[in-house]
Chains A and B, each alone.
Chain A
Amino acid sequence: MIPLSEFREGERGVIKRLNGRGTFRKRLQEMGFIRGSEVFVEKYAPLRDPIELVIKGYHVSLRVEEAAQIMMEKLEQEQE
């Protein structure tokens, strides 16, 4: 398992675990960050923070420090 913050642009993975506490975790979960969800790293902002992700078919941004709380399993990269 590696944290989502260590993913590079264009990589995808599956959520294994959410760290962090109450409100933050709950909020992430409600937005669809639940175990087994697939996440695609669309891009980093120009200043390398935050990150834009695609999850459950929509785009969402997270700060790097927040993405570090999401433990992932990397998926093989698809060729586009």
Chain B
Amino acid sequence: MKKEAITIALTGNPNSGKTTIFNNLTGTRQHVGNWPGVTVEKKMGTVIHNGHRLQVVDLPGTYSLTAYSIEEIVARRFLVDSKPDVVVDIVDASNLERNLYLATQLIELGVKLILVLNMADVAQARGHEIDADRLGILLGVPVVFTIGTKNQGMKELLDKVLEVVEDRDTVSRHIHISYGYELEKEIKKIQDVIWRDPSVGERFSTRWLAVKLLENDTAVQERVRSLGEIGEQILAQAEASRERLAEFYKDDAEMVLTDQRYGFIGGALKEVLKISAKSKLDVSRQVDLFLTNRILGFPVFIFFIWAMFQLTFTVGAYPMEWIDAGVTWLGAVVTALLPAGLLQDLLVNGIIAGVGSVIIFLPNILILFFCIAVFEDTGYLARAAFIMDRVMHIIGLHGKSFIPLLMGFGCNAPAIMATRTLESERDRLLSILINPLISCSARLPVYILLAGTFFGASAGNVIFSIYALGIALAIAMGKLFSVTLFRGDMAPFVMELPPYRAPTLKSLLIHMWDRSQIFLRKMSGVILVGSILIWVLSSFPRSPDLHRGQAVERGATSATQERVLTVAESEQPVSPSTPEDYLKNSDLNNEMARLESSLLGRLGHLIQPIFAPLGFDWRTSVAVLTGFVAKEIVVSTLGVLYAAGADVNEESDALRRSLRASGMTPLGAYTLMAFVLIYIPCLATVAVIRRETNSWKWTGFSIGYSLVLAWMVSFLIYQGGRIVGLG
């Protein structure tokens, strides 16, 4: 009797506690991936019970299996095609009526089903008394009580799974939900046509097929059409039946079917559910009256968001320092251990520095995701969406899209990962595409440098205007995309507002870890490759003149150095007063010359004509190129190229002086700021976009449109500014 591996599919409504049960069952033995071709998360895990190996698949939370949303399509496809051994439907016991709707569809599908009445404690506290045995008999499905948050009922559930798989269970039987005389007559007619080809009936439940066709389900219609001749016959009969029913009921057949299912549920609940006097005080409602209050709602919301950022960036700053120190230490150790040369350079300046500059965001990401998990698991996220929906609706987005957009001010990479909280794929893609326009904290050093250098006292206003530009563009692009790319399929805002719940630490941590893990895994992939690429571009070709013993060059005023002087167009940076200064400047000039002759420098010269209309010289072009790895790198590249030293920061006076001396104008600086704001999201963000959209096409689109937009906006600013005489 022992099967090798038993597959269990977990289904259930959103907010039914399905994820908690999944975590209870599988613990840490789970892995997260994507369903093929879509951005929906796929979670799988294994559990060993009584010597059986059970594979648990967590299907997306859905209210129904109609196949309207991508989640429903994914869930249904798995149930129909992969034929799991048992389907476990997790139901919120305190909210039976609506939750059982999905159960009626699962029953119809003819799968081996177990009904789990979760949150049994909540139901009890609310005075709901459920006769589970009777419910099981009425539905022909075994019923198990669980309290996911207290890890109760898991063993009973697994026992039941084995019983059902081995057909030892006595309750399971296949029932038909009766839809009444007229509908049953038409169902029968369609079934009769299906049975003309017995092979079709063997593959699908004919009743389910018939009902779906009456519901005008396009996915099932396609399937049936692909059957050929017999398919056409079936569809013709279904169409005739639909017409007859529409005439009889004066309404679409799918509406009547839904009514009937709820009628069936209502009838069953009359027999099994007793609601004694409601408890006097509904705590959740009281809390909500405060949190979504007309006057207090917004201030409270803003406070929570403020607190989240404070926590992320102030508390996160400490571990960031430690990681920074660790990366520096590692670099030093490798430098000491390995002989100077290509390998050492690659490891230290390529891999360790590159990956280090991204991994430093890990603490921020952990904290941000922890906060989001708290918002989500307590039920506050739904309220935030409720409050913000009116605002977000203007750009064609759902209220829930607000949080990911806001997180973008911190860092776009976790912000884009946070779009997973959005239900519709359309909202998700739209939020991902406009997210990079929200100016992240890594771009701030670039603004501080440029605005501080060229705008003096009004630097603050200038930086604010750049942020405002980003927001305005995000709104404009959101609007543009929603009326062009994503026209029409705007989902209705039917959003459940679940009762507030105290989250468990375990589920918060798993939640946080799931997402952070994705970030970590990327380090070994795209970011590593990207860092190496930039290193290669900036290190080759290795000019022997510049690298053959620096001592030689340090003494002499080499030809290279002269070239550098002319390039820098400034006498100031290289006017050594002491021997040390001279040595330092000499090193710097070598670095500068080396960069100019590197592939990256040549690339800078090569692409400079493209940027010429924006007023960029080759150095700015190179800075913009390196900024692709991480936007703050623009500052250090400018530092090297404008001969101020690689270890400059945005406060550095030397760099400011040489920038001013380079002929860059305030208009040019503003144009560069705008360009840095808009152009290509950084490497980490691109990697996340690839991961979250699960598509190179959308990733490419994101890169492409931001480049074009950046160029156009910068062009307008620069040339427009010149026309009005600002240049």
Binding site for B on A (CB under 8 A): 18, 23-32, 34-35, 42-50, 52, 56-63, 66
Contacts and interface: CB of A to CB of B under 8 A. Distances in A.
Given A27-B494, A32-B101, A58-B95, 4 more contacts: A28-B494, A29-B258, A50-B386, A61-B493
17 contacts: A18-B255, A23-B68, A26-B255, A31-B63, A32-B98, A34-B258, A45-B387, A47-B387, A47-B390, A49-B389, A49-B390, A57-B94, A61-B382, A61-B386, A61-B493, A61-B497, A63-B493
A21 B46 CA distance: 43
Contact of A63 (B64, B293, B387, B389): B389
Interface of B: 63-64, 66, 68, 94-95, 97-98, 101, 254-255, 258-259, 262, 285, 289, 292-295, 297-298, 382, 386-387, 389-391, 393, 399, 492-499
Say whether chain B's binding surface is mostly helix, strand, loop, or mixed: helix
B496 A50 contact: no
A30 B259 contact: no
A16 to B, nearest CB: 13
Contacts of B495: 60-61
A77 B23 CA distance: 44
A57 B389 contact: no
B183 to A, nearest CB: 16
A53 to B, nearest CB: 9
Among A25, A34, A59: residue with most chain B CB under 10 A: A59
Given A27-B68, A45-B389, A66-B494, A57 B255 contact: no
Given A24-B492, A66-B493, A46 B97 contact: no
Contacts of A32: 97-98, 101, 262
B68 A26 contact: yes
A30 B258 contact: yes
Contacts of B382: 61
Nearest to B101: A30
Nearest to A29: B258
A48 B292 CA distance: 12
Given A46-B297, A56-B97, A34 B68 contact: no
Contact of B494 (A18, A48, A56, A60): A60
Contacts of A31: 63, 98, 494, 496
B292 A60 contact: no
Contacts of A29: 255, 258-259
A49 B98 CA distance: 24
Nearest to A44: B294
Contacts of B285: 42
A61 B381 CA distance: 13
Contact of B258 (A23, A26, A48, A60): A26
A46 B292 contact: yes
Q: Which 8 A-B pairs have the closest CB atoms?
A: A47-B390, A59-B497, A29-B258, A30-B64, A46-B297, A63-B493, A56-B97, A49-B390
Contacts of B254: 26
A43 B68 CA distance: 29
A24 B255 CA distance: 12
Contacts of A62: 492-494
B393 A63 contact: yes
Nearest to A55: B98
Nearest to B126: A57
Contacts of A28: 492, 494
A45 B63 CA distance: 24
B95 to A, nearest CB: 5
Contacts of A45: 292, 297, 386-387, 389-390
Among B101, B391, B499: residue with most chain A CB under 10 A: B101
Contacts of B98: 31-32, 56-58
A10 to B, nearest CB: 12
Contacts of A25: 255
A27 B492 contact: yes
A20 to B, nearest CB: 9
A35 B259 contact: yes
A58 B101 CA distance: 14
B75 to A, nearest CB: 14
Given A26-B255, A56-B97, A46 B298 contact: yes
A68 B292 CA distance: 22
Given A47-B390, A50-B386, A26 B66 contact: yes
Contact of B95 (A23, A27, A49, A57): A57
Contacts of A60: 494-497
A30 B393 contact: no
B293 A46 contact: yes
Nearest to B297: A46
B377 to A, nearest CB: 17
Nearest to A25: B255
Contacts of B496: 31, 58-60
Contacts of B295: 46
Contacts of B294: 44, 46
A14 B297 CA distance: 29
Nearest to A23: B68
A57 B63 CA distance: 15
B390 A48 contact: yes
